[in-house]
Amino acid sequence: MTNPNNPEIEPLTRTQILVAMGVTAVILLIIAKIWQKLGSVSILSLQVTFYDVLLGIGLAVGIIVANNVVYRLWSAYRRSADFYLELVIKPLEWPDLIWIGLLPGLSEELLFRGVILPALGLNWIALIISSLIFGVLHLSGSEQWPYVVWVTVVGFILGYSAIVTGNLLVPIVAHIITNWVSSCLWKARRSVGASPS
C-alpha cells in the first residue's frame, strides 16, 4: 500500500520509524565524533545554566509560534509539512513523541551546531552552510522543498543562538522542545480532526 500523497513512498510502521530515528541519531553522533577527531575541532561549549535553559525555552516558543503562523499562511509549506509529519508522526504512539524531541535534538545539535559551526569558523559563512546542510537533511522528496526551506531557517536560528551564546545547550533545549511540542500539536490536530468510525 502506497502513501496517497506521494505514491513513491510506502508508509512506515511505528517500529521502522523508531529504529530509523535511533540509527540516524547514532550515525550523526558518529559523524560528529569522527569529524571532531580528524579535524581537531573543539566542540562548542555545553554549559548547563538556568539562564541558558530559559533562553532555549524562549527560543523554542518563538520557533513554535512562527511555525504555526507559517503553517497557516503558506499553503505549500502546510502541504509539505503535513506530508512529512504524516510519514513520521502518524504511526507513532503519544509516548514515542519524546524520542522525536530527544534523538534529533541531541544528535543534530551536536553535529550541526556543536561540530560543523566551529569547524567552519563560527561565522556567517559557517552559519549559512550548516543551515543549508541541516535543511537538506530533512528532504524526503522533490516536492518537500517548502519544508526544507523552513527547516533551513530554523537551522539558521538555532545556529545563530549557538554563536551568540557560545553555549550548545541553548539550541539543544530549543530543538528538543520545538520538535516535541510541534509533534504533539500536529498529532492532537489530527486526533481532533479524525472522525469516529
Could you read off the pLDDT of 10-65 as tens digits, one per residue?
Answer: 778 999 999 999 999 999 999 999 999 998 999 999 999 999 999 999 999 999 99
- Is the pLDDT at 7 greater than 70, yes or no? no
Q: Tell me, what amino acid is at 45?
A: S
- Is the pLDDT at 148 greater than 60, yes or no? yes
| pTM, 2 dp | 0.90
For residues 66-82, give the mean pLDDT.
94
CB atoms near residue 141 (< 10 Å): 17
CA distances from 191 to 26, 77, 90, 101, 195 (A): 31, 21, 10, 20, 8
